[in-house]
């Protein structure tokens, strides 16, 4: 039976496709696009959430929109109690709609330092050095500036320079320069370290989600099918081969055969959970849930890590960009020119740094929020610190064999003391910026959180109480040559199973020193090349 286009349809299930892609997140959409336009094969994409909502198109409004519709747009994950955070549990929402988290994120397009990818290659992953990954970044991109070796101008993904540069962000950059931090004109170019305005996944002032950018243009009968509302129960494995996918749609259990391959692109939390429900994972854990073991793969669900964040909040006497008068002026500016306040993501500028000389990759990122988020007062700014080369590791485990049960997510925050030391150094960099003449003369300061003059013990307590997720989970289906320590090989094939690949942030051996969406898109591009046999 040939696939047909159905968005949210609850009838006439697709019975067979050449390729079945599990998850319409960033990487899944890229793989579907490339297979659909290049292979002539039947491609089915199964997505548990709904179609992309164009209520998310306007950047500033989208952040408000999704936060109020989180239940319909996200998986509402909550971590296990964190031993180093006094037993706190953190909310870890991930996108549950076409485009995945690219439909609800802050749109920061930051690839990661070249040394991150060179480190992947050094771990035994052939073809993953930065020089080998760069063409795949460029292929995706439709940059609104001039093309170069670092930027493409004809890809599906709109990437733009920030169209909103608030006064407080300019002050932040002046403070960085005064503190000795160089200003970079392009984090994705020849100078990936320093401070500057971020490039964003926007086009003419509108959000660019992977769903509309990559997937929607190829969804048509006989080519690519997107089936939404499909909750994956397991991948069917016969005689060591992935031969199809079992899923629920509207309460009905269905199956689809994959004539060629299954590509698992459900994200760093769901991809390992689906593998484990399918019998691929740590044998003892699977058997404890009554799951028959197809492959004893101890690394499945291990190596979970995230970028922990720490607020460094300063009082601001600079007029808030989102006060009523600014909103009233910003609406017509956006309607007429697609510029100004409504193109903002609240964090248009930032910095990528090494907290101490000689490090292999940058280890801290400052995300400048021109309005500190709750629970901080409205007249504040936040030099939000992220530890972007974390050493702490956690895990994803099944809560039960029930596919509707959320997995047990334990990021293991601060279980490696090195992360606390890195955060401490990063906070001191933020404080140095906050003490500059540029900051103080503009009316930014004093420091409110963690608080000027706080003792080291008080600082650590504030850090543990204030730690937030960077929303960048990675590593749970780690790529590498050794099946005892990794889940997929350097062609993204699952060790021990034929006809099955994983393509999302879960395969990162080490999380990139950046927001993870750009790298996830690149992983999708690489996966498609592997599937098509072009590398």
Predicted confidence (pLDDT) per residue in 11-42, tens digit: 445 589 999 999 999 999 999 999 999 878 99
User: Is residue 133 assigned to a domain?
Assistant: no
With b for 16 or more beta-carbon neighbours within 10 A and e for fewer, the 240-278 pattern comes to: eebbbbbbbbeeeebebbbebbbbbbbbbbbbbbbbbbb
User: Is residue 137 assigned to a domain?
Assistant: no
Q: Are residues 274 and 328 in the same domain?
A: no
CB atoms within 10 A of CB 440: 15
d(CA 149, CA 233): 43
Report the pLDDT value the prediction gives residue 200, as an integer from 0 to 100: 98
Q: What is the bridge-based pairing of β-strands 202-203 and 206-207?
A: antiparallel
With b for 16 or more beta-carbon neighbours within 10 A and e for fewer, the 28-43 pattern comes to: bbbbbbbbbbebebbb
d(CA 295, CA 495): 9
Q: Are residues 479 and 362 in the same domain?
A: no
> Are 425 and 355 contacting, i.e. CB atoms less than 8 angstroms apart?
yes
Q: What is the mean pLDDT of the chain?
A: 94
| pTM of the complete model | 0.96
DSSP of 181-226, one letter per residue? PPB-S-TTTT--SEEEEPEESEETTEE--HIIIIIGGGBBTTTEEE
Q: Are residues 216 and 324 in the same domain?
A: no
Beta bridge partners of 205: none
Report the pLDDT value the prediction gives residue 195, as an integer from 0 to 100: 98
User: Is residue 248 assigned to a domain?
Assistant: yes
What beta strand segments (E) does 370-455 contain?
Answer: 380-387, 394-397, 408-410, 444-449
Q: Are residues 192 and 206 in the same domain?
A: no
Instruction: Specify the CATH number for the domain of residue 246.
Output: 3.50.50.60
> Are 459 and 465 contacting, i.e. CB atoms less than 8 angstroms apart?
no
Report the pLDDT value the prediction gives residue 14, as an integer from 0 to 100: 54
Q: Are residues 32 and 96 in the same domain?
A: yes
User: Is residue 134 assigned to a domain?
Assistant: no
> Are 271 and 504 contacting, i.e. CB atoms less than 8 angstroms apart?
yes
Instruction: Specify the CATH number for the domain of residue 193.
Output: 3.30.410.40
Confidence of residue 535 (pLDDT cuts 50, 70, 90): low
User: Is residue 363 assigned to a domain?
Assistant: yes
d(CA 237, CA 253): 17
Report the pLDDT value the prediction gives residue 223, as an integer from 0 to 100: 83
Q: Are residues 424 and 287 in the same domain?
A: no
User: Is residue 127 assigned to a domain?
Assistant: no
Report the pLDDT value the prediction gives residue 63, as an integer from 0 to 100: 87
**Does pLDDT of 7 surpass 60?**
no
- Catalytic residue from among 136, 151, 472, 495: 472
pLDDT in tens, 204-260: 999 999 999 999 999 987 789 999 999 999 999 999 999 999 999 988 999 999 999
130-140 helix and 517-531 helix, angle to the nearest 10 degrees = 100
Q: Are residues 100 and 192 in the same domain?
A: no
Confidence of residue 10 (pLDDT cuts 50, 70, 90): very low
User: Is residue 152 assigned to a domain?
Assistant: no
pLDDT in tens, 159-215: 999 999 999 999 999 999 999 999 999 999 999 999 999 999 999 999 999 999 999
pLDDT in tens, 422-478: 999 999 999 999 999 999 999 999 999 999 888 899 999 999 999 999 999 999 999
d(CA 507, CA 308): 19
**Does pLDDT of 3 surpass 90?**
no
Percent of the chain with pLDDT over 70: 97
- Is 472 noted as a catalytic residue in this protein? yes
Q: Are residues 59 and 70 in the same domain?
A: yes
Beta bridge partners of 332: none
d(CA 157, CA 506): 22
**How many C-alpha atoms does 348 have within 13 Å on its Cβ side?**
26
167-178 helix and 417-434 helix, angle to the nearest 10 degrees = 100
Cβ burial, residue 456 (10 Å; 0-12/13-18/19+): exposed
pLDDT in tens, 293-323: 999 999 999 999 999 999 999 999 988 887 7
d(CA 60, CA 74): 18
> Are 157 and 140 contacting, i.e. CB atoms less than 8 angstroms apart?
yes
Query: Which residue range(s) make up the domain with 348?
Result: 163-197+308-389+414-466
Q: Are residues 335 and 232 in the same domain?
A: no
Q: Are residues 288 and 265 in the same domain?
A: yes
d(CA 499, CA 336): 50
Q: Are residues 376 and 260 in the same domain?
A: no
**Does pLDDT of 6 surpass 60?**
no
DSSP 4: -
pLDDT in tens, 51-86: 998 989 999 999 887 777 778 899 999 999 999 999
**Number of domains forming the structure of the chain:** 2
Q: Are residues 234 and 372 in the same domain?
A: no
């Amino acid at each position: 039976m040939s696939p047909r286009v159905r968005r949210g349809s609850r009838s006439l299930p697709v019975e067979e496709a050449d390729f079945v892609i599990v998850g319409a997140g960033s990487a899944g959409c890229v793989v579907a696009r490339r297979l659909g336009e290049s292979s002539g094969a039947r491609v089915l994409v199964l997505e548990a959430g709904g179609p992309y909502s164009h209520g998310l198109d306007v950047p500033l409004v989208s952040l408000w929109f999704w936060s109020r519709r989180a239940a319909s747009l996200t998986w509402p994950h909550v971590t296990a109690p964190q031993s180093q955070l006094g037993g706190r549990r953190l909310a870890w929402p991930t996108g549950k709609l076409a485009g995945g988290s690219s439909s609800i994120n802050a749109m920061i397009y930051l690839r990661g330092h070249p040394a991150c990818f060179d480190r992947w290659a050094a771990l035994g992953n052939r073809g993953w050095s930065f020089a080998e990954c760069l063409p795949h970044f460029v292929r995706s991109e439709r940059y609104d500036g001039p093309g170069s070796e670092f930027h493409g101008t004809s890809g599906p993904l709109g990437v733009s320079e920030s169209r909103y540069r608030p006064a407080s962000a300019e002050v932040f950059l002046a403070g960085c320069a005064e503190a000795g931090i160089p200003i970079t004109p392009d984090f994705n170019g020849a100078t990936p370290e320093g401070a500057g305005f971020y490039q964003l996944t926007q086009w003419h002032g509108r959000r660019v989600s992977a769903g509309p950018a990559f997937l929607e243009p190829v969804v048509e009968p006989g080519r690519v099918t997107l089936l939404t509302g499909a909750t994956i129960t397991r991948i069917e494995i016969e005689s060591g081969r992935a031969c199809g996918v079992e899923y629920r749609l509207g309460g009905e259990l269905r199956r689809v055969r994959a004539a060629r391959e299954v590509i698992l692109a459900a994200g760093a939390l769901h991809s390992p959970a689906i593998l484990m429900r399918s019998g691929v994972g740590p044998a003892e854990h699977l058997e404890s849930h009554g799951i028959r073991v197809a492959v004893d793969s101890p690394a499945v669900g291990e190596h979970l890590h995230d970028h922990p964040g720490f607020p460094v909040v300063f009082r601001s006497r600079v007029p808030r960009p989102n006060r009523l008068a600014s909103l009233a002026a910003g609406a017509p500016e956006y309607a007429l020119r697609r510029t100004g306040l409504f193109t903002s993501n609240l964090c248009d500028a930032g910095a990528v740094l090494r907290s101490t000389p000689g490090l292999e990759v940058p280890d801290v990122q400052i995300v400048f929020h021109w309005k500190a988020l709750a629970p901080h007062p409205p007249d504040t700014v936040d030099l939000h610190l992220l530890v972007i080369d974390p050493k702490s590791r956690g895990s994803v485990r099944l809560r039960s064999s029930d596919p509707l049960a959320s997995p047990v997510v334990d990021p293991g925050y601060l279980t490696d003391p090195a992360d606390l030391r890195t955060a401490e150094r990063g906070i001191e960099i933020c404080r140095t910026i906050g003490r500059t003449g540029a900051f103080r003369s503009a009316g930014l300061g004093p420091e409110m959180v963690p608080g000027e003059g706080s003792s080291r013990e008080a600082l650590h307590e504030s850090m543990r109480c204030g730690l937030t997720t960077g929303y960048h989970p990675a590593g749970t289906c780690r790529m590498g040559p050794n099946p005892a320590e990794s889940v997929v090989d350097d062609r993204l094939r699952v060790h021990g199973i034929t006809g099955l690949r994983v393509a999302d942030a879960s395969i990162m051996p080490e999380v990139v020193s950046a927001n993870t969406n750009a790298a996830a898109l690149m992983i999708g591009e690489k996966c498609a090349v592997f599937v098509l046999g072009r590398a």
